[in-house]
Chain A
């Protein structure tokens, strides 16, 4: 022990060991949920295992597959039958009742195709058998097929044959997040400038105003906007009283309302990083620029703005990523055409218990974010490299 403690390498080893532990905990806490989410979007284990005999049966022999299905049904307990029925009903409406009623009587039905169709004529419909065949494996792509609208045609070519509603919603989510980011930056930049450069008293005031709204619950802030912007709200009453408009205008429960309330919620995330960067810029630079003959606009554009861009990028990016995950705020202040992807994710989790579909949509959202982060990182790296030689 004594010799090892004198060994200069042992200190480094301890340091590495001390670093590895928190890193492992971090990886576990951070990556595990993401991993399990990705797994959940593909996992069909429960259903696959329940339909094990059916999966192994000969697809071309109707009697063999009927017998295998009935044997599988008998092997399932009531709970497994219920879960299998729920998963299958997501594919064809009515499969739940058909599956459950058949499974309950599985022991009494003759194990042939004729026996099954005699019990319920719907079993003659090939669609039910196709869905069963699709779901007999332990991995499924059905959630991704539904989420992306991509599907295989008869010849096995991948193409946009499905319903692309979730891709449309994804696009809308990106557009709304982009709109919110632009508005936040436009409002946040002058505020951050004021907080960074004005007299300490005013700077404090701005900072406190930003932080108070930061500490208020999202629901409270959202409700406040509903009260302000509704048809009989303060803003509309004022507009009508000042004869700016003849009749109250629709300011909320549409895209405008969604963007206003989301901007308010996200503003602090844009202001704080911009303010931090602005504080590091010495005032003397602007004075120097003016002395050298540049006007105020040129000084701002060539001296001040380029130095703050890093703060703008960090703030804008934070706002954009956070905005992508919003759903309560647009649900309460937006219209039917302003619901974002997370709304549908929450809907799948809570209402239809379709956690696979919710996971698939989350994976797509995560992929979009990673793609954007990657692009942003690449651009950042490219600009840094361009600057270095000079």
Chain B
């Protein structure tokens, strides 16, 4: 064992002196509690296995930085956690490396987690939340979110059509598995906007995931769309917030490696680390998002499991379609911007 470690260290030193590896391996994540949990569950394990020194940085979404890096040939990030939509576009445009799934192995992974350029890793529940001190009578579903009489007050939402149009259709009674069928038709899009028209004057846009929690806790908005993890973490800190699980929309954050990363040869090791059920179970117990490895569920205690967007909570969830948004985001963002401007 010791010999292996020494060998690894020697290898690391040898590689470390290689000119192309002048900088340390750089991992970009979403910051906050989320990244703290990833550090505990994955980064430390990866560092131990490879002996590599790591730098962490914050990723703010989008592909602009990554495209600039790849276009100029100055790749300063290696591993990045991004959204499914960005992954698909970035993969088609050569911004991410293709993964060698044969070497990584797909044992136990959800089929959606196995992507040509990325590994789905974090299952996120997108729903809405409320302050239980303000509304003792809890809102039940999306219909209540769009009901200004029953639940008066401002609504926190993100300034984008992505997911918001789905929420509106769920409120209008569309079945979770029919969402994208309806949304692909002009009449379906009109239906979604008609729902938003009902509460247009109540909207307050949030930019960062921390805002809905602050706003709900300080009674600034009555209801807000949000990620389940933020609300559960706030609850654990004693804030009187509740997440509505009915018809939440599930999406997956994915790990990818930036094209031409000098640390390409460590990709297999990295993806093995983040796909490992024990590591994923550790992550989920620190940060209440779901694992992408089905074997992780058995390793998570029941009291944590009830707060994850998996298990019982996933029964009537809808699954976000990255394929739909890759095609329609430009068009629908234009329409959303026009709608919100007028």
Q: Which of A82, A92, A347 contacts B89 (CB 8 A)?
A: A82
Using Cβ atoms and an 8 Å threshold, which residues of chain A touch B200? 336
Nearest CB to that of B70 among chain A residues? A79
Q: Which of B327, B329, B341 contacts A97 (CB 8 A)?
A: B327
Q: Does B37 contact A (CB under 8 A)?
A: no
Q: A100 CA to B326 CA in the complex, in Å?
A: 12
Q: A330 CA to B314 CA in the complex, in Å?
A: 37
Q: Does B337 contact A (CB under 8 A)?
A: yes
Using Cβ atoms and an 8 Å threshold, which residues of chain B touch A43? none
Q: Which of B94, B220, B331 contacts A79 (CB 8 A)?
A: B94
Q: A90 CA to B63 CA in the complex, in Å?
A: 16
Docked-complex contact A335 and B93, CB < 8 angstroms = no
Q: Does B7 contact A (CB under 8 A)?
A: no
Docked-complex contact B92 and A81, CB < 8 angstroms = yes
Docked-complex contact B64 and A231, CB < 8 angstroms = no
Using Cβ atoms and an 8 Å threshold, which residues of chain B touch A83? 93
Q: Would you give the shortest CB distance from A223 to chain B, in whole angstroms?
A: 10
Q: Does A37 contact B (CB under 8 A)?
A: no
Which residues of A, 299-319, contact B by the 8 Å Cβ criterion?
Answer: none
Contact flag A253-B204 (CB < 8 Å), given A89-B327, A350-B62, A353-B63:
yes
Q: Does A295 contact B (CB under 8 A)?
A: no
Among the stretches A161-169, A264-272, A281-289, the one at the interface with B is A161-169
Contact flag A353-B62 (CB < 8 Å), given A231-B219, A231-B220, A337-B341:
yes
Q: Which of A78, A165, A169, A349 contacts B94 (CB 8 A)?
A: A78
Q: A339 CA to B61 CA in the complex, in Å?
A: 20
Docked-complex contact A89 and B330, CB < 8 angstroms = yes
Docked-complex contact A94 and B328, CB < 8 angstroms = yes
Docked-complex contact B326 and A96, CB < 8 angstroms = yes
Q: A93 CA to B326 CA in the complex, in Å?
A: 9
Docked-complex contact B94 and A82, CB < 8 angstroms = yes
Using Cβ atoms and an 8 Å threshold, which residues of chain A touch B154? 253
Q: Which of B61, B63, B92, B332 contacts A100 (CB 8 A)?
A: B92
Q: Does A232 contact B (CB under 8 A)?
A: yes
Q: Does B338 contact A (CB under 8 A)?
A: yes
Per-residue interface assignment for chain B, residues 291 to 333, with 1 indicating a CB less than 8 Å from any chain A CB and 0 otherwise: 0000000000000000000000000000000010011111111
Using Cβ atoms and an 8 Å threshold, which residues of chain A touch B331? 92-93
The interface centre, meaning the residue of A168, A337, A351 with most chain B CB atoms within 10 A of its CB, is A351
Interface size in chain B (residues, C-beta < 8 A): 36
Using Cβ atoms and an 8 Å threshold, which residues of chain B touch A168? 341-342
Q: Does B205 contact A (CB under 8 A)?
A: yes
Q: Does B334 contact A (CB under 8 A)?
A: yes
Q: Does B237 contact A (CB under 8 A)?
A: no
Which residues of B, 77-132, contact A by the 8 Å Cβ criterion?
Answer: 89, 92-94
Using Cβ atoms and an 8 Å threshold, which residues of chain A touch B204? 253, 335-336
Which residues of A, 84-140, contact B by the 8 Å Cβ criterion?
Answer: 85-86, 89-90, 92-97, 100
Docked-complex contact A331 and B334, CB < 8 angstroms = no
Q: Does A352 contact B (CB under 8 A)?
A: yes
Nearest CB to that of B90 among chain A residues? A82
Q: A385 CA to B57 CA in the complex, in Å?
A: 57
Per-residue interface assignment for chain B, residues 150 to 187, with 1 indicating a CB less than 8 Å from any chain A CB and 0 otherwise: 00001000011000000000000000000000000000
Q: Would you give the shortest CB distance from A238 to chain B, in whole angstroms?
A: 16
Per-residue interface assignment for chain A, residues 234 to 258, with 1 indicating a CB less than 8 Å from any chain B CB and 0 otherwise: 0000000000000000000100000
Docked-complex contact A96 and B341, CB < 8 angstroms = no
Docked-complex contact B61 and A232, CB < 8 angstroms = no
Q: A100 CA to B218 CA in the complex, in Å?
A: 48
Docked-complex contact A344 and B337, CB < 8 angstroms = yes
Q: A132 CA to B171 CA in the complex, in Å?
A: 38
Using Cβ atoms and an 8 Å threshold, which residues of chain B touch A100? 92
Q: Would you give the shortest CB distance from A142 to chain B, in whole angstroms?
A: 12
Nearest CB to that of B211 among chain A residues? A332
Using Cβ atoms and an 8 Å threshold, which residues of chain A touch B219? 231-232
Nearest CB to that of B65 among chain A residues? A350
Q: Does A44 contact B (CB under 8 A)?
A: no
Contact flag A163-B332 (CB < 8 Å), given A230-B220, A232-B219:
no
Docked-complex contact B326 and A97, CB < 8 angstroms = yes
Q: Would you give the shortest CB distance from A41 to chain B, in whole angstroms?
A: 17
Using Cβ atoms and an 8 Å threshold, which residues of chain A touch B330? 89-90, 93, 352, 354
Q: A86 CA to B204 CA in the complex, in Å?
A: 31
Using Cβ atoms and an 8 Å threshold, which residues of chain B touch A253? 154, 204
Docked-complex contact A351 and B92, CB < 8 angstroms = no
Contact flag A86-B220 (CB < 8 Å), given A93-B330, A93-B331:
no
Contact flag A163-B326 (CB < 8 Å), given A336-B159, A336-B340:
no
Which residues of A, 344-382, contact B by the 8 Å Cβ criterion?
Answer: 344, 347, 349-354
Q: A331 CA to B211 CA in the complex, in Å?
A: 12
Q: A70 CA to B338 CA in the complex, in Å?
A: 36
Using Cβ atoms and an 8 Å threshold, which residues of chain A touch B329? 352
Using Cβ atoms and an 8 Å threshold, which residues of chain A touch B64? 349-350, 353
Which residues of B, 9-65, contact A by the 8 Å Cβ criterion?
Answer: 60-64
Instruction: List chain B positions with a Cβ less than 8 A from chain A.
Output: 60-64, 67, 89, 92-94, 154, 159-160, 200, 203-205, 207, 218-220, 323, 326-334, 337-338, 340-342
10 A-B pairs with least C-beta separation = A82-B93, A82-B92, A93-B331, A79-B94, A350-B62, A165-B338, A350-B64, A93-B328, A94-B327, A253-B204
List 14 other contacts, CB 8 Å, given A336-B159, A337-B341: A83-B93, A86-B89, A86-B93, A89-B327, A93-B330, A93-B331, A165-B338, A168-B342, A231-B218, A336-B200, A336-B340, A344-B337, A353-B67, A354-B330
